[in-house]
Chains A and B, each alone.
Chain A
Amino acid sequence: MKLKKNNTISLSNSDRVLKPCQGSIALCALLFTFIALLTACTNKNPDPEPYTPTPYTIEIPYGFPTKLNIPDDNPMTVEGIALGRILFYDGRLNGRTHPDSLMSCATCHRQENSFEIGAPRPHPFGINGQPTHHAMLPMINLVWNMGNFGWNGSVPSIEADVLGVISDPSEFDSSPEKVVNTIKNIEGYPELFRKAFGTNEITINRIAKAIAQFVRTLISSNSRFDKYMHGEVQLTPEELRGFVLFTTEEGADCFHCHGGFGNPLFTTNKFYNNGKDSLFTDPADRFNITGDPMDKGAYKATTLRNIQLTGPYMNDGRFETLEEVIEFYSHDLINTPQIDPLMHHIANGGIQLTPPEKVDLMAFILTLRDDEFLNNPDFGKPEIPE
């Protein structure tokens, strides 16, 4: 670039020639750009750099449903799942920071117990020692629950469940504001939210969404029975006899409500009155949701995957052991107008298993334990921001 005699500027041989007044405009533009840059440099809260999270795809195991319950407004991403996993395990998720007051999802939903509490007590206890209304359900394969979570199906989504837990006096007994305020003041979280949601603004809905994304990855599909389905292992004669009892009407007929080869979730996610009581006084049974008198005393048939680890059993945790449950279905059913028709053995008080049959049925049920799931490092406690 060189200055010519007539005060025009030549950029090169082929460049256009600027007149004097045009030169002033160019100088103004340069000045404006400089001021703009200066302003940007002095901005205390710059917009974060845009970040596009990495989409995450669930691999559907053999025989499992292809329809997944992933809300349109909460697509799964690698970063969202990672954030959800951290929040799931962070004891400050209840909005408190004192070491004696920490409580997170993982306080009760323990991986070693199929994300159930697994303690020998009918109810888990919240931060204030108040028991929950019902016993716990395992947090497993929930991406295939199409929208009726909980024992009575009252919870429409995992996100809604997280939000409910925060305010429930028998769980976190906190508030969305308190939780958001606590989380956003922990160094490291804003950046994790930026990566998960494209913004470092922390809201209670984003907290719920991230946790829900993580929970949707909790898939159990590699139990001993799954390996048998894939032809990888053979079941013992005892286990096979139990499988026959499980899947025949003349046997124990568990499969109509709890699935089997054709339904590897080992639950229909439907609600049944299974003959536990003669009077129905629980204000949180299925009837409370549908208003259908036939739903009195009806509750969800829980999945039998890892069932040996998720006691105590039934909605009220009345049975401590699986042996007690099998005994109940064998001999102690109560016939009422509300009993589900699928409980056709009610006419005999139960399925009337002999002692060896009870052993066989138990042997089969134990094949539904999935040690790979229980020890999967991707589901364990991650590093938590300090």
Chain B
Amino acid sequence: MKTPFSKYLNNISIFLAILLLGFSSSCKQKSDPPAPEPSKISFHFTQYNQGLPLKFDTMKYVNEAGNHYLVNEIQYFISDVTLHFQDGSIQLLDGWKDIHYVDTDLPETQSWKVYDNIETGSVEKVSFTFGISEGKNNSLMFVNPPERDMFWPELLGGGYHYMKLNGKWLADDGVIKPYNFHLGIGQIYAGGLINPDSITGFLQNYFEVELPNSTFTVNDGDALDFEIRMNVENWFRNPNTYNHNTWGGDIMQKQEAMHLACENGKQDVFEFLKK
């Protein structure tokens, strides 16, 4: 049998229990807010010529040197894509992979959904390495196609082509000839004689591209889509006028030609566009 006092105590206990439950529940809400959605970024790789999407296999283009030319295919690597934030911090996009291959014949290579979660903040610019830096350009690191087929012969420096841009041009003797605008590790030849026996050293031709107008803001949960556009004509234009008649159909063993091409590549070949 319960006394009035014990009833009173019972009521107090129930009241305190409810109060405690409510208090603990409200504390939980305050200390453990829902996690923000991660921000993601995707890049889409396109090729343009004279402001329009590149048309392949048609001799409709004229470069700065006056060469009429066509493009058959382009294959290239970009690596170490980096976001530079206005507060001075940087984010290297290297989760899962830090080297991306683009092939104009393979649509699946023309978009890259980056694995990394993107940090929030104001991005001042985006940069990347065209090709593969010396420390990472190791032979046999890609054993599967399509990347495998970019291998650069060991005796010419090893690793992988930075780019193969293949096409044809109307040569000054009136004959249409193939050109292989291939970039990669250069060689130093003793006495200037292009003979593998006379190689005395190698030159790294990869370079950093700082994409112009690549400022944007990252907020929680953003799904950012950007286009990285290659303006093909600029490989042959600025600051060096590249003439196919001068350099001929192959340049893997012509460091001077690769050097000129890479200087052009640093300038305005690549463009950054928000989709």
A-to-B contact residues, CB < 8 Å: 63-67, 146, 244, 247-250, 253, 255-256, 260-263, 268-270, 294, 335, 337, 339-347
- How many residues from B make CB contacts under 8 Å with A? 37
Specify which chain B residues have a CB less than 8 angstroms from the CB of A250 in the assembled complex.
194, 250, 253
Report Cα–Cα, A242/B140, bound state, in Å: 22
Partner of B168, one of A261, A262, A263, A341: A341
> Are the CB atoms of B144 and A66 closer together than 8 Å?
yes
With contact pairs A247-B153, A262-B148 given, residues A347 and B250 touching in the complex (Cβ less than 8 Å): no
Partner of B175, one of A249, A260, A335: A335
Specify which chain B residues have a CB less than 8 angstroms from the CB of A146 in the assembled complex.
145
With contact pairs A341-B167, A344-B179 given, residues A65 and B143 touching in the complex (Cβ less than 8 Å): yes
Q: How far is the CB of A84 from chain B (nearest CB, A)?
A: 26
Name A's interface SS: loop
Report Cα–Cα, A111/B143, bound state, in Å: 27
Q: How many contacts A-B (CB < 8 Å)?
A: 95
B91 interface residue, CB < 8 Å from A? Answer: no
Name B's interface SS: mixed
B256 interface residue, CB < 8 Å from A? Answer: no
> Are the CB atoms of B144 and A65 closer together than 8 Å?
yes
Q: A337-B176, A342-B166 are in contact. List 15 more A-B contacts (CB 8 A).
A: A64-B143, A247-B155, A248-B153, A261-B151, A262-B139, A262-B152, A340-B178, A341-B73, A341-B166, A341-B178, A343-B178, A344-B180, A344-B249, A344-B250, A346-B177
> Are the CB atoms of A248 and B155 closer together than 8 Å?
yes
Q: How far is the CB of A178 from chain B (nearest CB, A)?
A: 39
> Are the CB atoms of B140 and A63 closer together than 8 Å?
yes
Specify which chain B residues have a CB less than 8 angstroms from the CB of A260 in the assembled complex.
151, 153
Report Cα–Cα, A260/B139, bound state, in Å: 12
Partner of A248, one of B72, B148, B253: B253
Specify which chain B residues have a CB less than 8 angstroms from the CB of A346 in the assembled complex.
177-178
> Are the CB atoms of B252 and A347 closer together than 8 Å?
no
Q: How far is the CB of B219 from chain A (nearest CB, A)?
A: 39
> Are the CB atoms of A263 and B171 closer together than 8 Å?
no
